[in-house]
Amino acid sequence: MSKTSECRVCAGVVREFFDFGRQPLSDVFLAPEADHSDEFFFRLATGLCESCSMVQLMEEVPRDRMFNAEYPYQSSGSAYMRTHFEQLAKRFHGAELTGENPFIVEVGCNDGVMLKALAEAGVRHLGVEPSASVADLAAAKGIRVRKSFFEEATARDILAAEGHADVIYAANTLCHIPYIGSILSGVSALLAPTGVFVFEDPYLLDIVQRTSFDQIYDEHFFFFTARSVQAMAARHGLELVDVERLAVHGGEVRYTLAHAGARQPTPAVADLLAEEAAAKLGELATLEAFGADVLKIREDLTTLLRKLKAEGKRVVGYGATAKSATVTNFCGIGPDLVEFICDTTPPKQGKLTPGMHIPVREAAAFSDPYPDYALLFAWNHADEIMANEQAFSAAGGTWIRYVPNVHTV
Ligand code: SAM
Ligand code: TMP
Ligand code: ZN
């Protein structure tokens, strides 16, 4: 009999379908000289709610352990993502933020990558961001930031101080929040009668179809589908009125919620629901088959890395992503197999990766001299990275990729 837990959305039975075992916090990079004996680990496992179909982690990590003054991820680190968010800001400005003195609230604004353009255009805005490390970067760009976790009480405070929001937006943040009932109650209160709550997160269908198991780590608590989001919204008087598939971060969906009955759902909603049903996304057997694919990738990747080591080849990692914590820890990839990981994020450089303790070095270390092989952990940024690193391939270097299967390029 599989293990179960209680659904964080509907209190139904969540049945476990995959266990990654003992995993560290994906964004806690360690100082090499520090004592690592107290490194935090938890059991990373995923399950499916039998009632509302929400896929979620079986165990929750306390939020302050993940999102605090040490949180290193900076959204503006990718030029491609900067453009993605600038385009969305423009779209909001021209469509949803056209009334008198419009107001937008962003949950998890990070370093201000999306709000910057709206702040510069003089639009009334507020970012809510608990991680002081990145909230301070946003404030330095002239963005109004409230340094706290968004939850129902925060939403009611904002409502009392500033009135209703025309747009509430969250990118790669809602899926991080296990106490999602409090978020949706807050959204329901804060959102103007004709307003929209828009959020985008990694899409379960893409994860299953690409076997991108590295999307599963401490911070990613929920794996949404149109079906599970629709059911969740209805519990809070909200309605799913639009969905848009996005190519970013390995495949995401941008969901638009409105107060129930306020907007006519677009045909895209029914289309995506039908596609999910055809893919049997809400069935345990589908997710168990995904688990079998994950085990195959682990086997293929570790076999390849051991073979390269035996041949005396140098292998370096590219991008010390949060995702790479799951890959390295689940596959047992340490500094013996991957010499170091290069990354452009200053707070990660000079540190050791969570759990497996692979050194993280600055981007310039990659070409000094080039390794024989580069293991692409930041595969969701492949287009941008490949364009910048053409000299590596030209010099005879080979990329190793593991999504959707292990292959070299
Ligand atoms: N929106 C940015 C993007 O898409 O690149 C940042 C995404 S980052 C992966 C997740 C952010 O959510 C972090 O900056 C974290 O501090 C923030 N966060 C976590 N829990 C939150 C909460 N309850 N309210 C607001 N922000 C939260
Ligand atoms: P993400 O996949 O969560 O967005 O994380 C991407 C990581 O990869 C982040 O630590 C920054 C790093 N990175 C590079 O080192 N070089 C690059 O060109 C890009 C786009 C990202
Ligand atoms: Zn449920």
The rounded distance, in Å, linking the Cα atoms of 347 and 251 is 27
Which residue, by CA, sits nearest to atom 19 of ligand 2?
A: 78
| 1 has pLDDT over 70 | no
Q: Tokens for 394?
A: 């030209």
Which ligand sits closest to the CA of 347?
Answer: 2
Q: Is 165 in the pocket of ligand 2 (CB under 6 A)?
A: no
Extended beta strands in 87-237, E state = 103-107, 124-128, 145-146, 165-171, 191-202, 222-223
The rounded distance, in Å, linking the Cα atoms of 210 and 176 is 21
Q: Share the mean pLDDT of the chain.
A: 98
DSSP β-ladder status, 13-24 and 4-6: antiparallel
Which ligand sits closest to the CA of 379?
Answer: 2
Among 173, 321, 380, the mutation site with the greatest number of ligand 1 atoms within 8 A of its Cβ is: 173
pLDDT tens for each residue of 70-102? 999 999 999 999 999 999 999 999 999 999 999
CB 57 within 8 A of CB 221: yes
- How far is the CA of 360 from the CAs of 65, 186, 336, 403, in angstroms? 21, 39, 14, 22
Prediction pTM value: 0.97
| Residues within 5 Å of ion ligand 3, judged at the Cβ atom | 7, 9-10, 12, 49, 51-52, 54
pLDDT tens for each residue of 201-210? 999 999 999 9
Which residue, by CA, sits nearest to atom 10 of ligand 1?
A: 173
| 2 has pLDDT over 90 | no
Q: Is 108 in the pocket of ligand 1 (CB under 6 A)?
A: yes
134 CA closest ligand 1 atom index: 14
Sign of CA dihedral 76, 82, 88, 92: positive
Q: How far is the centre of ligand 3, averaged over its atoms, from the C-alpha of 249 (Å)?
A: 26
